[in-house]
Amino acid sequence: MIQQERMIVVRQSEIAHHIFELTLQGQIVQEMNPGQFVHIRVSDSFEPLLRRPISIANINKEAGEVTVIYRAEGRGTSILATKQVGDEVDVLGPIGNGFPVDAIPEKGTALLVGGGIGVPPLYELSKQLNARGIRTIHVFGFATENVTFYEDQFSTLGDTHFVTVDGTKGTKGFVTDLLEELKPEFDVFYSCGPLPMLRALENFYPDKPGYLSFEERMGCGIGACFACICKTTEQQEKDYVKVCSDGPVFPKGVVQL
Partner 1 sequence: MSKLSIQLPGLDLKNPIMPASGCFGFGREYAQLYDLSKLGAIMIKATTVEKRLGNPTPRVAETPAGMLNAIGLQNPGLDKVMSEELPWLERFDVPIIANVAGTLTEDYVEVARRISTAPNVKALELNISCPNVKHGGITFGTDPVIARELVEAVKAVSKVPVYVKLSPNVTNIVEIAQAVEIGGADGITMINTLVGMRLDERTGKPVIANGTGGLSGPAVKPVAIRMVYEVYKAVEIPIIGMGGVTNTQDVIDFMSAGASAVAVGTANFVDHFVCSNIIDELPAKLKELGVTHIKEIIGRSHR
Ligand X SMILES: Cc1cc2nc3c(=O)[nH]c(=O)nc-3n(C[C@H](O)[C@H](O)[C@H](O)COP(=O)(O)OP(=O)(O)OC[C@H]3O[C@@H](n4cnc5c(N)ncnc54)[C@H](O)[C@@H]3O)c2cc1C
Q: Does 92 bind partner 1 (CB under 8 A)?
A: yes
- Give the DSSP H or E segment for 53: strand 52-55
| 225 lines the binding site for ligand FES (CB under 6 A) | yes
Q: Which residues lie near a second copy (CB under 8 A)? A: 43, 45-47
Contact flag: residue 238 with ligand FES (CB under 6 A) = no
* Nearest residue to 28 via CA among 80, 62, 57, 65: 65
Residue 239 interacts, among ligand X, ligand FES, partner 1, none and using kind-specific CB cut-offs from 5 to 8 Å, with: partner 1
Least Cβ distance, residue 111 to partner 1 (angstroms): 28
Q: Near ligand X by CB under 6 A, which window of 97-105, 169-177, 178-186, 216-224?
A: 216-224
CA-derived radius of gyration, the chain: 17
| CA count, 13 A, side-chain hemisphere, 165 | 8
Positive or negative CA dihedral for 9, 10, 14, 16? negative
**Distance from the first to the final alpha carbon of the chain:** 30
Return the amino acid letter for 166.
Answer: D
Q: 253: which DSSP letter?
A: T
Q: Which is nearer to ligand X, 135 or 252 (CB)?
A: 252
CB within 8 Å of 4: residues ≥ 6 apart: 90, 91, 92
Instruction: Please state at what angle helix 195-204 crosses helix 175-182, rounded to 10 degrees.
Output: 30
Least separation, in Å, of the C-beta of 180 and ligand X?
27
| 199 is known to lie in a ligand binding site | no
Choose from ligand FES, ligand X, partner 1, none: what does 120 bind? Cβ within 5-8 Å by kind: ligand X
76 assigned ligand-binding residue: yes
- Asked if 71 contacts 21 with a C-beta cutoff of 8 angstroms, the reply is no
Nearer to ligand X, 150 or 189 (CB): 150
* Binding of residue 131 to partner 1 (CB under 8 A): no
Helix, strand, or coil (residue 188): strand
58 contacts which partner out of partner 1, ligand X, ligand FES, none, CB within 5 to 8 A by kind?
none
Residues 6+ apart with CB under 8 A from 95: 2, 36, 37, 38, 39, 53, 221, 222, 244, 245
Per CB under 6 A, contacts with ligand FMN among 184-213 are none
131 binds ligand FMN (CB under 6 A): no
Q: Which window, 19-27, 30-38, 152-160, 239-247, contacts partner 1 (CB under 8 A)?
A: 239-247
> Which helix (H) or strand (E) is 175 found in, with range?
helix 175-182
* Residue 233: DSSP 8-state: P
Note the residues at the interface with ligand X (CB under 6 A): 37, 48, 50, 52-55, 68-71, 73-77, 117, 120, 215-218, 248
Annotated binding site: 52-55, 69-71, 76-77, 220, 225, 228, 244
Annotated binding site for FAD: 52-55, 69-71, 76-77
Note the residues at the interface with ligand FMN (CB under 6 A): 219, 225
